[in-house]
Each structure stands twice: as C-alpha cells, then as structure tokens.
Structure 1
C-alpha cells in the first residue's frame, strides 16, 4: 500500500492522479487510465502489434480475430462447446470467463460462470426507460453530433446497446451510465478523430469540480502535484482529455487542489507523499511513520505485532490484526468456537460443557446480541433446532430439522431431514449464494456460512455443528452457552417461561444444574406437527433411565484406555468420557440399536472435542471400529478438503471462509468426480446446464420463481428436424428434470429418434452431455441427457423451455357454472382445491369465473403441475440403518401421502414425520 500519489517505481513505472482519473504510465509503452468508477482506457505503443492477448484483443489490425478463447480452464467448470485456448468464439460468456485471472471466489465472479445468457434483467417499463435515456447519445442535433458522425453508426450503436444493458443490470443512477458512455464517445472522438467537443452542459452531464479547479475539454497532460510541482515527471502522449484542472498556483493531491504549503511529507520507502497528520506502516509492520508538517521528515517509531497477530492489509490499511475469524478481545486474539449436537440429542457447548435434552419443540441453540448469557438486543441471527420425539414412551428425541433466522434480511432458512433446504418456504437448489451467505452440500452434509461470523453444518439426519467466529466472544447466548471460556456459567436460565410448568419459578439469568429446566427455558416456538411439544410444555421432558447389557457391550470401546480413542482419553481425562459413554448407553438402549451406531456417534463427538480443545487429530476409524460407508465414487478421508468442489465452484474455493481446521474428515468424491444433486458425478457433466428453470425473474419484476422444465417430445422420428416439426412440449414432472434423446440406427441405416423428459438421476452414467452408445446385433443405440447444445441455442433451436408463469389466483376460485345460454352448454374443467386436482363440470355457456378451462391438460398446466416442490417428486426411499421409524412420503402419481418405514439414515427429502406435514408440503394446491 502507498500513502499517496504520485509514486515512482524503479524509474520504469509512475502512478499519478488527476481530479477525475488515476494514471499508470510506463517507459515500456503501456499507459492505463482509470476513471475511479467504471471507465478504463488502456494504451500501448506500436511495438506491441501482434504481441499482446487478452480481452482487449491481439492488436494485429484485424478486428475479426480478437475474440480468442483464453487459457482459463479451471475456475469456470463450463467448457463451452469444448472450446480450447486459442480457438475463436462469438460467445461472450465463453470469451470473458476464459480470460479470468487469479482465484476470485466472490459470488459475483463465480455466479457469472454460466453457459447460457441470463434472462432479461429489466421489466418492460424499466427497459423503456433505459431506451429513452440512452437514446440521448444518438440525438442528431445533440452535443455529441460531430462525434456520432466521426465514429460511425456501428460503433455508436454498440455503445448505446451497452448503455441499455448497463442500466438494466446495474439498477442504479441511470444518468451516471449515460454520462459515462457519453464520456467514452468523446474520448474516442478525441483519440481517433482528433475532435475535441464541448459536450457537457448544465442540463446534460454536468461535471462538478473540486474547489480551486475548473472544467476543461483538454486538460494539461502533466498536472503539477505535491510530488512533481512543475509537472515534469510524466510523459505527454498527445491525447486531449476532458476533466477538472487545478487553477494556477494549486497542486493536485488526494482528490483536492491545494496550495504547496498544504502538501505532506515525502515517503522515501514507497515513493509517495504522506498527507499532513496521516501515518503509514512500513515493512512487515515494523515501524509507523507520521507526517507532522509540510515538507518535514517522517517521524518514525518502531512497532511490533503481538505474538498472536499477523501483519495484514485490511480495507486498504496495513496494520497488526488477529488472524481471520478470530476476535481481538481485551488485547488477545480469541479463536472461533464450536457447539456440537448429535444423537438424541447430546450437546457439547462452546466452552466444552455437556448436556442432553429431550424436549420436542423448537429451541434456540445460539443467537447474537446477548449480554451476561441473555438476549440484550434484536439479534442478527438465531439458530433453532426442531426436536422430534421418536420413542414417545421413553421420552427420547432427536433433531429433526434446523432453522437459521436472519431477521434484518427477513430470511428464514430451514435445513430439512434428508438435506433439502428451503428459504422463506421455497425449496432452494444447492449450491446457493446471496446476501453474503453461502449454502453448499457435500457427501457429508449441508454447510451454511454467513457474513455474520456463523457457520452451520447439518449432516441431514441428526448431527449439528455450529461454529462462531471469535468476534462473538461473550456476546452470544442460548443452549450452546455463553462462549467466554468458562464452562461453569454456560447453563443459564433462558428468557422464556412459555413452555414451563407453573411450578417452576426461576428468574432468567440464574445458573442451573438441571439440564431439562435449562433446555425448556430456551423454548422458541411450538412445533404444530408434533403433539408431544404441547405435552412437554405441561410436564418437563425428563427422560426415563434406559440401560441394558447389549448397550454396555456396544459402547465399551469408548472407555478403553488402549482402544481407538485412547489418546483422547489421556488428554481429556476419564471424567470427560463419562458423559459420552452415558449418551451412548441411552441412545443405544432407547432406540433398540443392535450395532455400534451410537458408539460411533459418541466417538465422533469425542474426537471433535479432542481436536477443538486439545489440538489432537488422528485416524481412529478402522474396518473393525466405526467404518465410514461412502456413496458411489467417493472415499473416506481423515483429512479432506473442507470446501467441497462442485459445478459452480470446481476448485472448492467459494467457501474458503469456513470456520475451523484446514481439513475435515468425511467422504470425498474421487478424482474426476464432483459433487452435485446428491451424488458424486463425472466432472464432465458440469458442462451441461443444471436447473435452467430455477430462480427466474418474475414477469412483473417483483422477485423470482421456479418453473418446470418442458421438453420437446416425439417418438420414432427419422431426424431432429422432423421431431421439431411434429413434436409437442411436455411439462416434466420428474425431480430435477432434464430432456433425453434416444437414437436407434439399424443395420440398414434407418434412424429412429425419440425425445422426452427424464429425471437427471435416472440418466445412465456418462450419458449427460455426451452420447452413450451400445451396439447389439448390428443395431446401435445412442442415449443422451441434455438441454441442447450452446450452438443450437444460439441458432434458436431449443429442445427445452421453461414453463411460463401462470397466475394461479384463478385456481382457488369456486366452481361457477355461469348462466345458461342455449346451445353453448358443454364440458369444461375447473381446479378443485379440496381434491387437489382438475375435475370436469358442465359450463352453462356464459358468465362464471376464470377457473374454467377447455381441457384437463390446460387446467393442470395452470393450477397443479408446476406448483409441486421437487422433493415431492422423489420416489419413496427407506434409507439405510437399523432404527426403523414410521414416516410418510408423497406419492405424486396418486396425489396421496402414504405411510412407510424409514430405516433411520440416508434416504431423500421426500419423507415427513406425520401425514399433516406431508400434505402441507406437497398438497398445497389451494395456495397461489
């Protein structure tokens, strides 16, 4: 970092500024001019003809070969049309992303890595407004008249198109965009045609200047500055540039025109000028130097960072600071902390205290905005658990889902059983990134990371990890405790008595020893789907004691000094293991488990605590003790990459701010495979667009929505051209639908082509985006799942489309037969909200309402087929494990919620704790 401009580097590079621009000027023929906001000009000398490359082209005099695919093939997973570096392209996303530089992991960057152009960013009204304001650039009698003629229609039209696009995309002051493009036109006129225009005026793009400066269409190229008061250090390039120029006798420094006596101190280390009263840090935070008065020598004093600090640049300022995600509390760097819950559920709090609680409502695990262990102000975030009673008689519960509330953003995120995620009630495909929040999935579970310094990991079944950054030290509260390095004050009586028997009269903030009263005091809200919740508020949910010989045998490995956990026993002490052992006994007994499942759950908790508190991490699993099964094409690693690569982030960089160690244990996709849609899939499948009809812009411009995929459908046609001529559009009612194509070529050369809908998971491996061909008895069958190629898309040939938005308000209207008109009575269809399907009725011919359709298909398109959440389309999946429990799934074909036995682990999102929850999720056909 430099304290001020100008700066000279090795006599070869000079960086200086004007009131409107920052310049980089070199002795090797390169000049860069930056407008400080959104305008950039790069100039090179003739020596670089045919010797440069990049997004500015190759400078060989031929504009037809400038769009060359660059060298990037890692950061952006979509290899458009398999283009390789050096080949030509006309596709802007391909061209732009191929020249991506470095490891930019911001959402703005990675979200632009898409194979198809985005939908319109403007509403019709916004588009009309953008057209109107940008057409000011084309006025034949306007201030840019001479420039329009000099640049030509093609160039000016391109600038106007860019202006309209920018106004639609940027959604901010449109006049700033118009004026920026007008300035670009004027600059090009000056540089290419030698025309200097007086184009600004009081009513069109006025340019305010700072005090002691004036506007001119042709500034002095080498302005006097504090570091060059005669303007002799820069090299004129002969190009006239408009802008603000300091009056005679004034020098330009730090965006102001000042007298020489107000200039600061020269900094011999950086070559810049330090303003009066400002300071600069040198080296590796070794000294701090302050400017006392004009022209004086810098006053430097030694400095040294604390042992727990790093020398870092934060917001442009070099300084001593704690490592990322640590908090600087009372002169010490405080590391992040973890709160973990698993099993039925048993939790280790931020400071290491242990508790178990078997309530069956929604409870607050952690929130910020706390003081002395209680809420003190409106929180930025809250993490809630929703416990579900699996074994009613034994009062054993486990976490059923996790809710994260962001109140300032009015956002509710729910991590459901099976891994489905919903935001404000809408099912959300992963990965998801918005509002400085990232939600990603992996073979091990779902991760949520927020800018508020919180990370939530949910293993999709019963295990939860909450990590908070060090800045929250002594500022959180809830069932995870106070996070102040004192486990003795973690069990604080919470703020509510809403779910507490009248016999309990304990003041909030009181330290407790009773785990059940503690848990109930952090009640958040009722779970209307669990009748046990109401019971637990009337009678505290003390669990019944449950032990048996089988449980003791299965849990015995947890306490063997020479067993797989022996090193942690030595470090933590036997007392710390008693809680984990009791947890294992309770879970194994209450669930009737006959394997070491809950011993492994407890072992995971122990090893995580051992690593977090004692820094001990080693391989403890084996083929005999807690082997970890992994899905196809995945392998268990004790230390794998904590940020799981996926199609949107193929290098696994997007969630680099994960709190905790640099690696994590779990299942990781094998080389050549990448995780998405619940499976480790061949990386090549990332070339194919995923969920193209998700997150579409609402036609009214108010919010976004998801639509069903529609595929061109035909059967046994001789060619794609014939399929497009005779085919029909089918709305795909499969989970994560994709279009499929089958080509059968017989031994005599006859071709039979069919197209239709397919669930992506049902596509054979290696058939997504490429032909999978087999030959039998001289007949070749080639199968492929795709949405069509980019080239076809550009040519207007589509094999898929997104179902159009339909206003479902009409679907909730009652059946209305209307008024009788002789000869016009007939069969029509209406949508029945009570039966959740389209039904026939006799329409009298006139009047009535708009819940009236010509066919069952038209009615279904409008009122039912697109509304069903994707999870409801999944087939029933009993999962794995040996702890069966009664649950419900939705049968889409019969439009019914049906009972089934879930085995306790794995499965998918189409499972519900009771019939009511299933119906509310999948049969809300009466809602618009």
Structure 2
C-alpha cells in the first residue's frame, strides 16, 4: 500500500513522499486508528494526513466505501438488511430503524431455531408440543406441533411431526400431510379465506397461513416457518422461545431458571398427554446408529461440496444444515436419502430468501435422488423460488399482503396461470369465482344474484351491480355488510366459550352492536333476555321453584340461586376462592448488570450479549472499544496450528493514555516498562497477579483478566450498555445484532464481521467455504480419538455433572466443540496447554453459574504450565526415540502408547 522508491522520488498523483513513515497505512478499513504500528519507519510515498488509502488512491473519509458480506459498496449504494433499507454514507451504513419480524423454524425431524436464533434439538415423545403461545389477551394465538411414530424414511422407533395446529380467538385449524381442517371441517379445495386469516396451498408442498400479525409456511413433516410481527415481541412462550432478542434466556423455565432442553420441552407438552420425564443426556444419532454414519456422510456431503451451492456460502452458512442432515440421516432407513433432501431443500430455501437462487436440480444426481413428480394433468411445473402471491383463482378476490418477502419451492402453475378449484392450471380469464354465501365455486362468465346484487364471475372476481330492489330485514334487525355466523343470541349468553365462525363475513341481516337476538328474532338488550327452561323461555325476573330451591332469572339468561336459598351465592364463592389464593413468590432468575466477553484458544469468542463463535484470523483486531474512545482492547491472533489455526496470544489495552501489553510467555508491560510480580496501582487503574491470572481493575467499570496464555476476559459494568463495539458486540442486551460490523452492517457470517474490525489492513480469511472450514480433527486425525476422550469430560462423566445439570445443553456442546477444535488444531507446540485452556474455560463458565468444580488432577491438567510438546510430525520416525517419549509427559503420550500408535 505504500510505494517505495530507491532512485527517483516521484510519487503518483495524490501521494506525497516521506523519509520516515510508518509501514502500516491508514485505510478506509481502519479510519479510527487506535493501535501503534510496531514496525520501523521507512522512506516511501504515502497519503497526505487526513486522507486514506483505498484501491491504489488517496481519498477523503467521506468517499470511503462500505463493506457488507465481504464485498465493497460505493457511496450512496443501497442494500436490504433484514427488513431495513441501508444507504452507504461516509463509509458507514445508515439504516432504517424498523423493528423487524422474527422467524422460528422447525426443520427435518426435530431441529428448532428460535425467534432469537438459538439452534437446538429435542427428542420428542408421541404428543403435542406448543411452539408459540401468546401471553397477551389482545393477541390470542397458539401454534402446536403434534408428534407420533415416524414413517419412512425415518426409523419407526423415533417420533416425527404429524400435524400442525393453529388456534386464534375465532378459529382453529389443523394441517396434516393429507390436507387441512378448519373448525373440524375438511377443506377439499385446500383453501380458507376469512377476515382474520387466510390458509391456502402455496405449492404442492407448502401451505401458507396468513394471519393479521403472523405468517406460517408449513411443509408437512419437513419444514415449518413461523414469523411474528414485532408487536408479539416479548409476549410469547413455547419451544420457539420468548422473542425478546436475548439468546441467553431462550431455555428459561417458568420458574425463571435456565434448564436443560428436555426439561424445557417438558413444560410445553399438552396436558392431555402422558409423557414420562426423559433423561437429560441425549446421545448424538450418529453415535448410536454408527452403521448409518458412512451413508449419512456420503449423502450429506452434497450440501458443502456441490458446486450449485457455492454461491450461497458467503451469504448463508451451510454448517447447521449439514449437521441437520447428519442427525436425520443417522435415524433413517439405510439407503433412503430423503432426510438429506429435506436438509438440502431447507438450505436452498434459506439461500433463496436471502437473494441467492440455487438451481440445485441442475445436478442430475441430486435431481434423481430427490425426485419430485408434479400432479399429473394439473399443468403444474416445479419452481425453486415461487412467490406466495396469487397462486389460486380463489385468492384473486382476497390476496395476501406483503407476499413477496418469502418464497417456497414445489410444483405450481406457470406464470400467467392460476390453480382453479378443480386443481388445474388455467389462464386468469378462465378462473372460477368463489361465493362466500353458498360456499361454492362458479365458472367464469356465470351470472348470480348475490344478496340483492346482480353479479358476473369475471377473471376470478365477482363484478356486481346494485339491484333495484329494497331489502327488508325481519323484526328490528338491520342490513350489515359484515354479518357472521356468530350473531350473539339469548341462547349463547350462558355459553362460556367464545363463538367460532366457520366462514368469512358476509352481507345480511343481524342485530345492531350491543344488542342480542331474542328467541322470536327481535333485537333486545342483554338484560331483557328470557331464561330457558326445557323447551320454553321464561321472562326476566321470573322465579322458578325446583324442589327446595328457588331460582331467580335476573335478566341475563342465566339462573341464579335466590338469596333466600341456603346455597352459597356466586359472589360468596368468588370471595372464598380469593381467600384461598396463596401468595406464591416464584424464584426469579435475575441477570446482574455486569456482562462478560471472552476470547479463548484457537480462537473462540463469546460476546457481551451471549453469541458464541469461532474465527480464524491472523491479524490484529478490536476486541472491544468504547464508542467515545475512553478505552480500547485489541488482540493479535498468531498461527499455532497447521494449516490455518490461530490463537489469541497478544492483548493490548489502551486506557487513560497508557498502553498495557499482555503477551504470552512475557512479563506484561505498561508503556514498555515491565510490571513486577507485586503488580501496580495508579489513580485510574491497578494490575494484580494471581496464580493463573493478571487482572486489570479500573474505576470506569472495566475489568480485564488474562490467563498468561490464550484466554482473555473483559467485564463491563452496566454503565457501558450500548456504548461499546468490536468483536465482543455492542452490549445492548440484543443478541440478534451482535455481528454489527465497523461499517454498521449486521453480518451473517463471523468471518465478514470479524474482518471489519481489523486494526490494520490485512487479507480477509474466508471461512464459509468447505475448503476453508475443515475441522482440525480431520487434518490431524491422529489426535481425534485422544481429543474426544480428553474433552469428553465436559459433556459426560461425573466430573462436571453438577454443572451440566444447570446449563442448557447447547452451551455444554459449544464448549465441548471448542475443546475438540483446540485439542486437534494446536499442533505447533503447546498441545496440552490448548486442551487445558479449553477445559478451564468451561470450568470458569460453571463457576460463574454457581457451580465451582475442582477439576485438575494428575490425569487432567495438573499444572497449567506443564505443556506437552507437539506430535504433529511423522510418528513412525520417532517410534524408537525414547527421548521423544519422555517429552510426551501428559495424557496424549499415554493415549498414543496405550493405543499402539507410538
């Protein structure tokens, strides 16, 4: 980026020569310089002060491009991020501030992603589970998924989803593989339209349920997408979570405590089901059905290695879909690839929803393996990315709103045609019309008298002219444009349940608002209603004597015991019930104001708001910094494993005009001066040393702990909420926006997010393609079994059992995966240190959750400084080298010797 000249000193246009300039140029990627360039100065052409190097030119800050998904965008470029439109201004994205909907997905047999993006699985019993239930009386909604014994391709010893149930204030519907029912009635035309809800078949595979503030896409037995608008935020519960943007409390039970997923799922089983309590520990399917694993890998590898999907890797990470494929294939019948097809289709849909259309059926092998035949004679064709808009003739008169935001795959009618009631594709001019009064379909051109109007079926709609005749309603009823079958009558006042209407509103006679229909058809006040007795009606204020009791009809169509009777009154009963109420104070889990971010190992990160991710970058990055530049913490990742594993071994804290430097295997320094073992104290901060940590304490609500190796913890007080940025996120209690880049875009993949926080310009390390994302245990296969056994103490066995009981299993799994990654990947020295650091990181998690574990032993990490040497060399060459065997002093050597590897 700097131009060096030994002879003629002539700089390109826009540059200027400097005899001693830092070789770390300021670029648009690091306009806010916080770190010193440690390299000696050089004579070179550089950009003038106030300008930045970008693509061979020196430009002003306001001319800097923005970055998003690893690409650069010029000023005034626009992109859509979630539901907000963003414009590039002065090198930053300026976005709309709309609250976006949230989506929960249930994929394959049992893979769930909550509204707040927590991925987990359940092992369901044969029962109904609540996915979403509103806690607000003004937003009545309940969505449930029924499970029963699996059918092909899955093994019948497991349970799979068999039906989706939707309940609102005025309707309940159920969708199965055979069709759907509304209020108990089978809908043979596969559609239902009312003022509150629309249900229709969007393709041969998908149903769409469109409510006032929610939408469901359901592919029976394979995929379910539930989207809620922002007015449901924080007002729901169920397996889909609470939709409050906090990933850390998704598995909080009704007692307020974080629990294992099986206990959490148990709370949302239907009361009518008997479901025995399941054990907390669930084995991975491929660990149980090991005979299926090779076949699963064969088919699931199509997701990362088919060239059709490569375009999407930078937009939607594929790993979760590959993992879903492996889980489901390992509980499938041998040689039945259908579970792979479900996972592959789910990934293709995620790509399409994010603008990357994947025509994966161009792969002849995949097209044959995942074959799909469209209904014979219907005229439908397969479409990978079909709109939800106008797919049937029926909906021409009542179209969906906002139907272009999502897509579905499957068979559907070609452009210019729609599906009629006989399930055939026809041109719009031949579309049938649906009459909501008769509940029948009529051919195009049909004339019909509809509630006094003369109507003709034209292009799927009724075109009507007002008939010149007077409509006379009986008694004192009035003509209404929105009459329903739920006209309240004196007979319905005593019913506790709400009326459920079976069809859309219609035009007809009914009572005025606040009046009810009497038995003779007239409209009266509620208080004037007679009371039923057998086949007769008794007038208000009537007294009915039955045996020793006198019943009084007070004028609300309900009999009450007379005050002269000995039986308790309704009022006294209510008082008795109230007196019996207990003051039950549930234990509530309270999150303290302080929050913690950490970087550990090879390297793994945990943000202030709870996102756990891994990023292999070999540059210097902003771990966290105050937006007002009060402090900044940078980290350098250094290569510690082949081929691309890096570790956090260099931490710099910029605080109160001081530079505090922590480097592995060196004594920390302040402005280049070594810190003594006794530590140091100043007016603004102090540094203390313990057995394992150097701790930096400040008076501004910032604490930093460094383990003298590859772990650093940053603790912030609540006064920094929303005032920090970097790899640790922004600490705003919203985990959905933690990947906020330096350019103020919200990235989807860790590598693009982390690269934006580089201190000096350096190449981006791509990690989204399979060739960049090979697990270290694959490269270093000789370590895999040792790593699994050594790290296994995290998720199995008695050592951390008490800790696992209070942690969600997805958290335990994340730490176990970190441990595997580090134990296999750290092959350039410090093998046991990497393993022990990973285990220690999990032990710290346990301790901070109130379960300290005395975990070090002669068998496991007896001394943090007792570091094994690397075995990343050809072991055959050292087979008889006793001096080499002596250096392998820790569990790896014992494992290799016991297994006959050395």
Verify same fold: TM over 0.5: no
Using the size of structure 1 for normalisation, the TM-score is 0.33
Using the size of structure 2 for normalisation, the TM-score is 0.34
